[in-house]
Amino acid sequence: MARDGDVGINARMTYSLEEDLEGSSTFIIQTDPVTQAGVVLLAKPLNYESKKRYVMAAEAVNDHIDTRFLPLEEFRDRTTLKILVGDVDEPPVFLSSVYEWNVPENAAVGTVFGSISARDTDSFSSPIRYSIDKRTDATKAFKIDPNNGTIAVAKALDRETTEWYNMTVEAKETTQNHLSSSVVVFIKVLDVNDNVPRLARDYQPYICEGTQAGDLIQLLSAVDPDEPTEGHHFYFSMVPEERINPNFTVRDNQDNTAGIVARRSTFTRKDQTQYLLPVVVADSVLSVLMLMVRRQRRKQQEETGVEVKELELPDAVSQKVLYYGEKGAGRADLDFCQPVVPVRPRPKRRERRLRREEVRASIRMSLRESHLIGPEDEVFRQFILDRLAEADQDPYVPPFDCLRTYAYE
């Protein structure tokens, strides 16, 4: 504080710090309007470890100067300020505000992949111990050396189970006030091709007796929990010893799918009911998957339950698909035994339907004109009876009502 013998406005003054002196930007000085004292304020944070002492010059100047007395006095005064910074115990400081590492999922237990470092900035440097906050590492997948801060794998990792780990590491002084600080650590588990591909679902393909060579029996697809950088590329094939299979072949569609295709048409249940077809699905690790193809027998039973489904197809498609299954065969059989019955487009309905008497008369008239035998002829009747008996004795007749047509000469 500067003293002035004048009173009133003549005693008012302003303080300033020399800008060219060290520490002038760390502190500022203001004038108290009541006491005319100079108040020194802190402009920036202090750090004992980086600077312990500041020296600067302060100047006081009268606000109102009478020019008549300028030759006698300067109306200002200077002094030197010395400021000493006291030491305060502070918590440890980490060298980085955040840590992040990548670890392959096949890293062995005990593998060291990173290190955390903190230091005590106080004049009396206290030793530091490191620890992982248990609340942020419930799985205890990692461990840290309490003395040097190195982090290692503590248990087997699996990217398919957990891909990211976020945990907090604490650094604590071992002496004085035991102050501590913490930092966030991010660990990403990198994918390794350690899973074999598997079929997308449990396929149970069936083949019907009417299957023709080249027909698609089952479309296969695969899944793999791994995530390769270039995406999945599955390859389907038969095992080497089964490549020449007289019954089936595997056709790789080159789009991560494959089809099981029949190689012949003569499948009968009395010859064989099941076929074992080994299929290999591979990426860079081979996995042999066994598929069993079963024949669905069409047999005529005394009580046969028939179920017919009609699929909803676009109007432009002049074909209907009928699904049938025997009583007790189950819904699964309907899904795999799917003969396709093409049906001609439905003709336009006639405006008037003919009566039965008119139809019979029309048939007789056409028979007379063509000089052919009619339905009342004994030869024709015997032919129909023979065909009917033959159909009744056929164990492989379709289990639904059908129409058979014959050309008799």
In this model, does residue 311 exceed pLDDT 60?
A: no
Task: List, in order of start, the domains of the chain with CATH numbers.
Answer: 8-84 (2.60.40.60), 93-190 (2.60.40.60), 198-296 (2.60.40.60)
State the pLDDT at residue 334: 40
Classify residue 108 by burial, with Cβ atoms within 10 Å: 0-12, 13-18, 19+: exposed
pTM for this prediction? 0.50
pLDDT classification of 228: cutoffs 50, 70, 90: confident
Q: One-letter amino acid identity for 202?
A: D
In this model, does residue 317 exceed pLDDT 60?
A: no
In this model, does residue 109 exceed pLDDT 90?
A: yes
pLDDT > 70: what percent of the chain?
64
Write out the H or E segment, with its range, that includes residue 378: helix 378-392
Q: Which has the closest alpha carbon to 167: 110, 98, 107?
A: 98
Q: Which has the closest alpha carbon to 142: 117, 161, 169, 120?
A: 169
CB 92 within 8 A of CB 172: yes
Q: Which two tokens stand for residue 140?
A: 């205890």
pLDDT classification of 299: cutoffs 50, 70, 90: very low
CB 304 within 8 A of CB 298: no
Lowest mean pLDDT among 251-255, 300-304, 401-405: 300-304
pLDDT tens digits along 353-377: 545 555 454 544 444 444 445 566 6
pLDDT tens digits along 134-193: 899 888 999 999 999 999 999 999 998 899 999 999 999 888 778 899 999 999 999 888
Strands 286-296 and 206-208, bridge-based pairing: parallel
Average pLDDT score over the chain: 73
